Amino acid sequence: MTVRECYELIGGDYQSAVTRFKSDATLERFMTMFLSDQSMDLLHTGIEMGNLSLSFRSVHSLKGVAANLSFTDLQEKASALTEQLRYRSEQPDKELLEAVEKSYDLTVRTIEALKASRS
């Protein structure tokens, strides 16, 4: 699998990302670093604890990381959940949360497959 194919599978903007990171090798290095990002875990922790502030900060961070890596689909879904949490003092919308989780899981699985194809 190539980095470009990875981006196509996850609904990312490869051209924007490679322009920002200057090469596939650098981009791939940062993509694999995404696998250790704790934002999704912290989002789930915030939800379980009923801590909307933690939930908001976590999904906002996930949105930012996704935007920096041009993971467009994940960024858009995380952005929608961020805005829902920004202005409401209630639990995250279930459909928005599920959309973020689905996009995140696809992104992680695809990056792991890219990483495995290099081994």
Q: What is the pLDDT of residue 89?
A: 67
Confidence check: pLDDT of 106 > 90: yes
Q: What is the pLDDT of residue 90?
A: 75
Closest CA to 90 of 29, 58, 47: 47
> SS3 breakdown of the chain: % helix, strand, coil, rounded to 5?
80, 0, 20
pLDDT digits (tens, 9 = 90+) for 90-101: 789 999 999 999
Secondary structure class of 65 (helix, strand, coil): helix
**CB neighbours of residue 2 within 10 Å:** 12
Give residue limits of the domains in the chain: 3-117
Q: What is the pLDDT of residue 91?
A: 83
What radius of gyration do the chain's Cα atoms show? 14
Mean pLDDT of the chain: 96
pLDDT digits (tens, 9 = 90+) for 34-83: 999 999 999 999 999 999 999 999 999 999 999 999 999 999 999 999 99
User: Residue 118: which pLDDT band, with cuts at 50, 70 and 90?
Assistant: confident
What CATH number does the domain located at 3-117 have? 1.20.120.160
**One-letter amino acid identity for 41?**
D
